[in-house]
Structure 1
Amino acid sequence: MRAIVFEQYGGPEVLRLADVPRPSPGPGEVTIDVAWAGVNFADVKARAEGYRVEALPFRPGLEVSGLIREVGPDVTDFTPGQEVAAFLDGGGYAETALAPAATVFALPAGLDLRTGATLPSVLPTAYALLHEVGRLREGDTVLVQGAAGGVGTVAGQLARLGGAGAVYGVVSSLDKAGHALKSGYDEVFTAATFDTDVRAATGGRGVDIALDPVGGETFRRTLGTLGRFGRLVSFGNAGSEEPWRIGPADTYPLGLSVSGFSVLGMAAQEPQRLRRIADAAFRTVTDGDVELPVSAEFPLGRAAEAHRLVESRRSTGKLLLRVGG
């Protein structure tokens, strides 16, 4: 079968289309004939820096949609030919993907496979950030870094759906502001001035919840936008800077809370909790309350182009690879 692999870390050019053996499921596993594969920033970090890569060569790809091909000997929840979406720990950029049955989801009624590929990673992440970690309450003000990206696009909608009083977004450039404003945001600021803009928008009070996938100096400035009892949730280090460190002087004066979240960690350690969160998150899509638009799609063999688009910071919404179907 065809799959995208890389044998060394580097730029998009290290991705290559290769013929590899088709996997077979073991206990607790299924194989999926992939129709669509989602492209995520974590895939880019894996290729460039070895993020969560245990050995080379490596096949990237954290989420897919497609048809069940085979089920492992003890798997009873799925049958061959069934339409599913799945969250993986790699290997999604392939004609057939191996997946733990615990993180495979029957495709919700009314959704096609293309839409299904946008769901497994982004929707549960955004839902968990707001409701499980950030503890969103009616009337809270929310700030989201990367408001035009995949998580940002749905986080704005979910915050509004969850009763937020105001939702503010941060984008890398103003040409992304229009996309974010369609996704539940009241106002959108640029990375250069967001901290002073937030203070102005809130009358100096600051926000109740802030979500940050960037890290580094952006994390520090985002911490400074919190009001009393504010909650900052870090869920990435897109800037590849030194890990953040905080102490009592940062949190005691205003009673601030700082948390972290990794959907990959939850999938590995508590897949049943991921399933519960995913079920709630997917319902917001099937109910028509939340939408994650696909901004670009590429055939499997052009995965490098998709990675270049992600790294250019010009993309919005969701990027997909078209594999089969």
Structure 2
Amino acid sequence: MRAVEFQEYGAPDVLKVVQADAPDPGPGQVTIDTVYIGVNFADLKARAEGYRVQSLPFRPGLEVSGRIRAVGEGVEGLVPGEEVAALVDGGAYAEVVVAGAATVFPLADGLDLRTAAALPTVVPTAHALLHEVGRLRAGETVLVQGAAGGIGTAAGQLARAAGAGAVYGVVSSAAKAEYALTHGYDEVFTADTFTDVRRTTGGRGVDLVLDPVGGDTLYRGLDALAVFGRLVSFGNAGGAEPWQVGQPELYAHGRTVGGFSILALAQAAPEALRALTERAFAKVADGTVSLPVTAEFPLAEAAEAHRLMGGRTSTGKLLLRVAD
């Protein structure tokens, strides 16, 4: 089978197509004949910085859609030939992928394989940020960093559907702002106008901030919170030192900070992840959330997908296509 790996860290050119033996499933696992692969920022961080890489060579990729090829010992409720989406902890850039059965999800009626590949990390994460961790209530205001990305696109729509009083976004360019305004956002700021949040809210601030950036951006998000506001951190895209928040930032206004990682949840509480994913996928199946695939590349052109995402000009979701 074909797969895409890197043997050293660096620019997108380190991604190479290799030939490998197709894997067999172990106990509690399935193998999937891949049709589409979702591209995520975590894939770029793995390639460039070694994020979550235990050894080289390394095959990136966290989410796939396709058809079950074989099931391992002890797997129930999944059968060969069934169309599924799956979350994997690396290794998705391949024609055949191994996945733990607990993170393999049969597709609901009306959900096609192309759409499904965009969902396993994005929509459950957006749902958890707003509801399970962020505890959004109807009428509250939300601010989302990275509003034009995959998670931001889903979060804007989910917040609007949940009855948010106002949904604000932050993006890196005017073009991205135009895109985000079509996906649930009332107003979108560019990074250099982020401080306008308080002016826009009449000095009150927002009830919930979702932050994938970390560093100074996270602290500015804290400053944008209203009394009793919540911030949920779900990444460190800015590459800053791990943030620390304590009594001075939280006590005076009763603010709270939470965190979320879908990969960490998959390892620590797979049944909770399954329940979360089922809730989130239902929002796609019923039309509440539409997640646009804005670019698609053949598997052999994975480097081009990384260049596009790394250039910070992409919106929505990027996919790799493995088979028709």
- Supply the AA of the counterpart residue of 1:294: V
State the match for 1:11 in structure 2: 11
Per-residue CA distance 1:208-250 (angstroms, 9 max, x = gap): 0000001111111111100000000010010111111112111
Q: Distance in 1 between matches of 2:241 and 2:192?
A: 20
Q: List, as ranges, runs of 4+ consecutive aligned residues in structure 1 with deviation greater than 2 Å.
A: none
Please state how far the C-alpha of 1:76 moved relative to its aligned partner: 1.6
State the match for 1:213 in structure 2: 212
State the match for 1:91 in structure 2: 91
State the match for 2:74 in structure 1: 74
Please state how far the C-alpha of 1:308 moved relative to its aligned partner: 0.7
Per-residue CA distance 1:158-214 (angstroms, 9 max, x = gap): 0111111100000001111111001100000000121x2110111000000000001
Per-residue CA distance 1:256-276 (angstroms, 9 max, x = gap): 001111111001111111110
State the match for 1:322 in structure 2: 321
State the match for 1:298 in structure 2: 297
- Supply the AA of the counterpart residue of 2:285: T
Please state how far the C-alpha of 1:111 moved relative to its aligned partner: 1.2
Matched position secondary structure for 2:47: helix
Q: Distance in 1 between matches of 2:124 and 2:274?
A: 9
Please state how far the C-alpha of 1:99 moved relative to its aligned partner: 0.2
- Supply the AA of the counterpart residue of 1:29: Q
Q: Distance in 2 between matches of 1:250 and 1:289?
A: 36
Matched position secondary structure for 2:192: coil
The share of aligned pairs that are identical, in percent, is 66
- Supply the AA of the counterpart residue of 1:190: T
Per-residue CA distance 1:81-130 (angstroms, 9 max, x = gap): 00000000011110000000000000111011001101111000000011
Q: Distance in 1 between matches of 2:270 and 2:249?
A: 33
Matched position secondary structure for 1:13: helix
- Supply the AA of the counterpart residue of 2:142: V
What does 1:57-206 correspond to in 2, within 5 Å?
Answer: 57-194=57-194, 196-206=195-205
Verify: 1:36 aligned to 2:29, yes or no: no
Worse-superposed segment, 296-305 or 6-15: 6-15
Q: Distance in 1 between matches of 2:308 and 2:208?
A: 29
Q: Distance in 2 between matches of 1:118 and 1:108?
A: 14
TM-score (norm 2): 0.99
- Supply the AA of the counterpart residue of 1:108: A
Segments of structure 1 that go 5 or more residues without pairing to the other structure are: none
State the match for 1:239 in structure 2: 238
Matched position secondary structure for 2:68: strand
Q: Distance in 2 between matches of 1:226 and 1:215?
A: 15
Q: Distance in 1 between matches of 2:304 and 2:187?
A: 31
- Supply the AA of the counterpart residue of 1:60: P
Please state how far the C-alpha of 1:69 moved relative to its aligned partner: 0.2
- Supply the AA of the counterpart residue of 1:130: L
Q: Distance in 2 between matches of 1:211 and 1:21?
A: 41
Per-residue CA distance 1:119-157 (angstroms, 9 max, x = gap): 111000000011011001111100000000000000000
Segments of structure 2 that go 5 or more residues without pairing to the other structure are: none
Q: Distance in 2 between matches of 1:246 and 1:288?
A: 38
Provide the aligned C-alpha RMSD in A. 0.7
Please state how far the C-alpha of 1:56 moved relative to its aligned partner: 1.0
State the match for 2:272 in structure 1: 273
Matched position secondary structure for 1:189: strand
Aligned residue pairs total: 324
